Amino acid sequence: MPQPQAAAFESPLVVASNRGPVSFRRDGAGELVAERGSGGLVTAIAGVLFESDATWLACAMTEGDREIAATGATTEVEPAGHAGFVDVAPERFAGYYNGISNRVLWQLHHHLFDLSYLPSWDAETREIWNDYREVNRMVAASLDTHADRDPVYLVQDYHLSLVPAFLRQLQPNARIAHFTHTPFAGQSFLGVLPSPMRDELLRGMLGADVLGFQAERWAENFLLCARDALPDAHVDVRRRRIRIGDRTVFIRTYPVSLDPEPLRATSRSREVRDIRKELLAWKEDAALLVRVDRLELSKNIVRGFQAFETFLHDRPDWHGKVRFLALLPRSRTEIPEYQIYAERVRELVDMINAKFGGAGWQPIEMRTDESYERAVAAYGIYDTLLVNPIFDGMNLVAMEGPLVNRQQGSLILSQNAGAFARLGRHTLAVNPFDVVETAEAIAAGLEMPRDERVRRARGLARAVLARNPVRWLTAQLRDLDVVRGIASQRSEELEEPERSIDFNIGDLDEALGRP
Amino acid sequence: MPQPQAAAFESPLVVASNRGPVSFRRDGAGELVAERGSGGLVTAIAGVLFESDATWLACAMTEGDREIAATGATTEVEPAGHAGFVDVAPERFAGYYNGISNRVLWQLHHHLFDLSYLPSWDAETREIWNDYREVNRMVAASLDTHADRDPVYLVQDYHLSLVPAFLRQLQPNARIAHFTHTPFAGQSFLGVLPSPMRDELLRGMLGADVLGFQAERWAENFLLCARDALPDAHVDVRRRRIRIGDRTVFIRTYPVSLDPEPLRATSRSREVRDIRKELLAWKEDAALLVRVDRLELSKNIVRGFQAFETFLHDRPDWHGKVRFLALLPRSRTEIPEYQIYAERVRELVDMINAKFGGAGWQPIEMRTDESYERAVAAYGIYDTLLVNPIFDGMNLVAMEGPLVNRQQGSLILSQNAGAFARLGRHTLAVNPFDVVETAEAIAAGLEMPRDERVRRARGLARAVLARNPVRWLTAQLRDLDVVRGIASQRSEELEEPERSIDFNIGDLDEALGRP
């Protein structure tokens, strides 16, 4: 296939994601004004992409977005770049978003189905899969309209798994990278999908030149899934590449990183300072355990509270001397499983507060309203931060907390978070299913000797700062050039893959034949 | 390490399993009499092992067994061989058997946990793990007492995962094979275990010289789990071997096979002939759909009935013309999850019968009492046999049915049964989670043209008969000799691994570097 004229570094960037970095609304004066979006994906990558003057396409979420979509053009956004929108009819969006993306793919990639009963694929599954396919096709068609300057396409996440193949049909020569922000299901779980959907998903992603993941284990899952499902794919697990048709696809890891500056600026803001003072006054001289998560099944909130209950049960000497501040903004409240989960969490918190609280002391303070400022304020003053997801692509909380914490706070981190590869050695590692281990980690975190706290807190901050979002982007662009023959193979090997103590990357290296 | 004197073929065999091939009770005259045990493991391998004059150790299940255990000796059993028993205190047995084996390991290996909530490891988990360890240690100690003739030890299944390492401590030079009759969990699921238990489980199994599995995918899961969990294990995924300490362990597949003779004898027995006549009279001229399974979560009984409901909904022309005979002996009735599942199944059957039945026609006939003879009678006369497990190590029903069926009946088979590797091409393959696909397979099975039925039925019988239990045993013995240096590497390569259409072994071969 013909090669692009310019290197990826020198080409315009066109990004696609379900939710964009900005949404538009009409203000009182009738002007369209941009509002910053939220969510982990945007937090993680919006900065670097707009610094690169990217064009960003997303599904329209507001009437303002739809007005822009109707123009067929993009609009400029601050600090640099352009935003465009794809207008999806509400019923179609429902099938694509809640139907497939959140109730099927999210659950599969996080291994969250109770397979004895669910899923049970029926005729409706086929209908909402059509919705998913159609929205992916629409996004690809919209991306195609931005083809005038031979751009690099950066397609984001599991909502848009089929976009690379649709875009490849429209532009056989396009340069496409797809990045998965979540985990990727193992073979047994991806095989739960109806076989034609599983194959369409894998082939959809393989329309890209480069498939990016947060951690080695998710990339390997993809390779093994493709090997088992696609007879015409030549899968080289060791070298992390797949040959399909006349194309080669790289399957690589590009761990998302944090830009420290905006976070530190927020932390220094008046609003956050005020909240921090309030929280300090509220907690009095108690030690502070904090968690910050969407109220989401994969975040393992129930077992986190069970562990705190076990800790309080085992350690009466801590009664009255510790507070657990749980900031858990509600999430996906229209999905029944999430409603049930939220109820279960509330009941558990009430039970623990009733069982152990009293005499002016309430062990758990839970807030389910959304406040980024309150989260950043809590980051500043925790003694121990609890991050125990069941599975997590990366986990930004585990990186944000240590960057702004002022207490040399300790971090309890699940071995199943992608961030564990980077931070694991400086944390109190937990198996997220192990309530006893997590309870012991809470005690160890709160009672850690000062010198160890300091050492670990420094290690955490250093590990977070060792990577940055620019590197996340440039590594993908470089691999796009290598796979398309614009740069040499050698430059591919300049970058060391991220090391992990948990995943035994040492052994993985050997298994994968790396030196 | 010093090598044994004799080849494994010429050495006495000592078998260990949780449940033995016989149990003993005192009859009216006060005599200890042997009664044949049941269960898939015993059905699959008891014949060939007793033909080889094996000694078989199991946990005592009856007072008679306990009497024999108390003598510390074994007792002769027909047709040849000896049985011995390990007497485990009831509370310890409860922790080992229902606690860990059935509610933890079985669930993990079949991927059946609802990870949002369960498991939640607590102090009790540690206690019952101690029970599991202790019973495994007792079984190893009992095996050690049969060491006088340098035997080959054949340890069976997930109940006894730790026996190989305990036995290795007692007899560093012992020849030990362990065989897993179930699936083996993928990394994400095995990692759900508390890390020390996961590591102990893997190291326990790696005490053997040869680890056997039913299918390539379960063997590969073990290899990948060991690679990720054990830093000192040198895992060669491609050549399916692990070097640990100064020993090499083979990780191989030995698919369990069926001895056709006893099954055909049962099928010809008077009792089975009588039941067959009754069933034929009962079904009148309706087509007959049959399933035979323990009432067990992994067997996917709920989705099977949902698929039949969908079939009846979509195909009113079949109303009154088909009967579904579901033979589902109750299983593990003391476990709450199984009670709930059985209730759910009963409600679903009643609902479907009420919704579609009437005018002398009841669509589903479910029997939950145990009758091997009724199952064999039903095998003889089904038009279509439904075998749709969520995951299954092998599945014997899928092999038994085609051997005695007289209708050129069609077979619907889950792609997630180990038996699919052998039988898949002759079956109507289904994704067990896909109710629509399963409903379509029921229609296709019942309406299959006569010549296709004949062709497939012949293919099924041929595929079942192409392997036999002797081969299952001899392949393990041969590999024991190879790994211990008694036979040459070359003889190892004489045996072709079983081919699979579903698992794309062609690609697996390439990935594993096989020619």
Amino acid occupying residue B483: V
Residue A511: per-residue pLDDT: 31
User: A88-109 pLDDT, tens per residue?
Assistant: 999 999 999 999 999 999 999 9
Q: Are strands B241-244 and B247-253 parallel, antiparallel or unpaired?
A: antiparallel
Chain-centroid distance, C-alpha A329: 16
- Which contacts qualify for B344-353: CB closer than 8 Å, 24 or more apart? B344/A117, B344/B302, B345/B295, B345/B301, B345/B302, B345/B305, B348/B302, B348/B305, B348/B306, B348/B309, B349/B305, B352/B305, B352/B308, B352/B309, B352/B312
A511–B416 CB contact, under 8 Å: no
Closest CA to B511 of A197, A509, A241, A493: A241
Q: Which of B112, B391, B431 sits opposite A195 (nearest CB)?
A: B431
User: A426-440 pLDDT, tens per residue?
Assistant: 999 999 999 999 999
Q: Are strands A410-414 and A322-327 parallel, antiparallel or unpaired?
A: unpaired
Q: Which of A227, A234, A433 sits opposite B508 (nearest CB)?
A: A227
Query: Which residue has better confidence, B514 or A190?
Result: A190
Band (pLDDT 50/70/90 cuts) for residue B489 is low
- Third-level CATH fold of B10-256: Rossmann fold (3.40.50)
The backbone torsions φ and ψ at residue A20, rounded to the nearest 5 degrees and listed phi first, read -90, 175
Residue A84 in contact with residue A69, Cβ under 8 Å?
yes
Q: Which of B120, B126, B227 sits opposite A306 (nearest CB)?
A: B120
Band (pLDDT 50/70/90 cuts) for residue B2 is low
**CATH number at A88-257+484-510:** 3.40.50.2000
Residue of A nearest to B111 (CA): A115
Q: Which two tokens stand for residue B28?
A: 């009216």
Residue A433: per-residue pLDDT: 98
d(CA A427, CA A425): 6
Q: Which of A125, A391, A437 sits opposite B194 (nearest CB)?
A: A437
Burial class (CB in 10 A: 0-12, 13-18, 19+), A367: middle
**Residue A151 preceded by cis peptide, ω within 30:** no
Q: Which of residues 103-122 of A touch B (CB under 8 A)?
A: 111-117, 119-122
Q: Which of residues 152-211 of A touch B (CB under 8 A)?
A: 186-189, 191-195
Residue A496: per-residue pLDDT: 44
Band (pLDDT 50/70/90 cuts) for residue A149 is confident
Amino acid occupying residue B206: L
Burial class (CB in 10 A: 0-12, 13-18, 19+), B320: middle
Chain-centroid distance, C-alpha B145: 28
Beta bridge partners of A292: A327
Q: Which of B125, B191, B504 sits opposite A231 (nearest CB)?
A: B504
Residue B387 in contact with residue B420, Cβ under 8 Å?
no
- Strand, coil or helix: what is A325? strand
Q: Which two tokens stand for residue B479?
A: 């590999």
User: B322-339 pLDDT, tens per residue?
Assistant: 999 999 999 988 889 999
Whether residue A418 lies within 8 A of chain B, CB to CB, comes out as no
Whether residue A76 lies within 8 A of chain B, CB to CB, comes out as no
Query: Which residue has better confidence, A428 or B72?
Result: A428
Distance linking the first and last C-alpha atoms of chain B: 32
Chain-centroid distance, C-alpha B90: 25
Angle CA(B175)–CA(B179)–CA(B182) in degrees, nearest 5? 165
The backbone torsions φ and ψ at residue B429, rounded to the nearest 5 degrees and listed phi first, read -80, 140
Half-sphere exposure of A180 (CA within 13 A, CB side): 37
Q: Which of residues 303-332 of B touch A (CB under 8 A)?
A: 303, 306, 310
Q: Is the pLDDT of residue B340 over 50?
A: yes
Instruction: Please identify which residue in the block is written with the tokens 């925790």.
Output: A382
Q: Is the pLDDT of residue A122 over 90?
A: yes
Q: Is the pLDDT of residue B505 over 50?
A: no
Whether residue B246 lies within 8 A of chain A, CB to CB, comes out as no
User: A192-246 pLDDT, tens per residue?
Assistant: 999 999 999 999 999 999 999 999 999 999 999 999 999 999 999 999 999 999 9
Q: Is the pLDDT of residue B282 over 90?
A: yes
For chain B, what is the mean pLDDT?
A: 91
Band (pLDDT 50/70/90 cuts) for residue A77 is confident
Closest CA to B381 of B261, B264, B276, B263: B276
Band (pLDDT 50/70/90 cuts) for residue B514 is very low
**How far does the CA of residue A235 sit from the closest CA of chain B (Å)?**
7
Band (pLDDT 50/70/90 cuts) for residue A488 is low
Q: Is the pLDDT of residue B42 over 80?
A: no
Q: Which two tokens stand for residue B384?
A: 């279509």
Residue A513: per-residue pLDDT: 34
Q: Is the pLDDT of residue B513 over 80?
A: no
d(CA B96, CA B103): 10
Residue A1: per-residue pLDDT: 56
Band (pLDDT 50/70/90 cuts) for residue A501 is very low
Q: Is the pLDDT of residue B501 over 50?
A: no
Please determine whether the domains at A88-257+484-510 and A260-465 fall in the same fold group of CATH.
Answer: yes
d(CA B304, CA B302): 5
Which of A454-468, A500-514, B31-45, B152-166 is the least confident region? A500-514
Residue B1: per-residue pLDDT: 56
Mean pLDDT of A394-410: 96
d(CA B383, CA B287): 6
Beta bridge partners of A235: A242
Band (pLDDT 50/70/90 cuts) for residue A492 is very low
- Third-level CATH fold of B260-465: Rossmann fold (3.40.50)
Band (pLDDT 50/70/90 cuts) for residue A283 is very high
Instruction: Please identify which residue in the block is written with the tokens 């850690």.
Output: A448
Q: Is the pLDDT of residue A180 over 80?
A: yes
**Taking the domains of chain A in order of start, what are their residue ranges?**
88-257+484-510, 260-465
User: B209-246 pLDDT, tens per residue?
Assistant: 999 999 999 999 999 999 999 999 999 999 999 999 99
Q: Is the pLDDT of residue B117 over 60?
A: yes
pTM of the model: 0.92
d(CA A182, CA A205): 14
Residue A209: per-residue pLDDT: 98
Residue A46: per-residue pLDDT: 82
- Strand, coil or helix: what is B241? strand
User: A438-463 pLDDT, tens per residue?
Assistant: 999 999 999 999 999 999 999 999 99
Give, for A25, the enclosing helix (H) or strand (E): strand A22-26
Residue B505 in contact with residue A231, Cβ under 8 Å?
no
**How far does the CA of residue B312 sit from the closest CA of chain A (Å)?**
14
Partners of residue B431 in chain A, C-beta under 8 Å: 121, 191-195
Helices (H), A76-160: 90-94, 106-109, 123-144
This model of the complex carries an ipTM of 0.90
Mean pLDDT of A155-177: 97
Residue of A nearest to B218 (CA): A188
Residue B146: per-residue pLDDT: 77
d(CA A437, CA B435): 40
Mean pLDDT of A67-88: 89
Residue of B nearest to A236 (CA): B511
Partners of residue B345 in chain A, C-beta under 8 Å: none
Band (pLDDT 50/70/90 cuts) for residue B498 is very low
d(CA B394, CA B182): 7
Residue B486: per-residue pLDDT: 79
Burial class (CB in 10 A: 0-12, 13-18, 19+), B515: exposed
Sign of CA dihedral A478, A480, A481, A482: positive
Q: Which two tokens stand for residue A259?
A: 């830009």
Instruction: Please identify which residue in the block is written with the tokens 């570097």.
Output: B513
Q: Is the pLDDT of residue B499 over 50?
A: no
Residue B27 in contact with residue B62, Cβ under 8 Å?
no
What are the Cα distances from residue B273, in Å, to A327, B280, B289? Answer: 68, 11, 19
User: B139-175 pLDDT, tens per residue?
Assistant: 999 999 876 778 999 999 999 999 999 999 999 999 9
